[in-house]
Amino acid sequence: MSRPRRQAQAPSREIVDAVASREASLRRLQRLAGDFAEGRLEASEAQRELVDSLLHCRALSLDVVEAFEKWRLAGSRGGDNLG
């Protein structure tokens, strides 16, 4: 699954953006689970939506890890920090 590349920005900004995107994805998963639990979503539709959302959340989790790695490497060269 390929992910679109983001424009170059400060490593600390990339972390903030990546974490915010992942948190939004987690909220979507919670909404889907709630919709299914309360009967507002058919099982087959819930399965499809949850799998798609989990895959998307996984990709966003990798973005978070990559952003932290980029920040860490920039920090070892005197780059910006999170503070």
**pLDDT at residue number 82:** 56
| CB-facing half-sphere around the CA of 77: CA atoms within 13 A | 7
**pLDDT at residue number 27:** 98
Asked whether residue 65 is domain-assigned, the answer is yes
Asked whether residue 23 is domain-assigned, the answer is yes
Asked whether residue 4 is domain-assigned, the answer is no
* Angle (nearest 5°) at CA 81 between 79 and 83: 155
Asked whether residue 64 is domain-assigned, the answer is yes
* Angle (nearest 5°) at CA 82 between 78 and 83: 100
- 12 is written with which tokens? 């600390």
Domain count for the chain, please give it: 1
**pLDDT at residue number 78:** 59
Which range marks the domain in which residue 15 is found? Answer: 11-76
Contact 73, 16 (CB under 8 A): no
In tens digits, the chain (83 residues) has pLDDT values of: 455 665 667 888 999 999 999 999 999 999 999 999 999 999 999 999 999 999 999 999 999 999 999 999 988 665 555 55
**pLDDT at residue number 83:** 52
Closest listed residue to residue 60, CA positions, set 19, 32, 7: 19
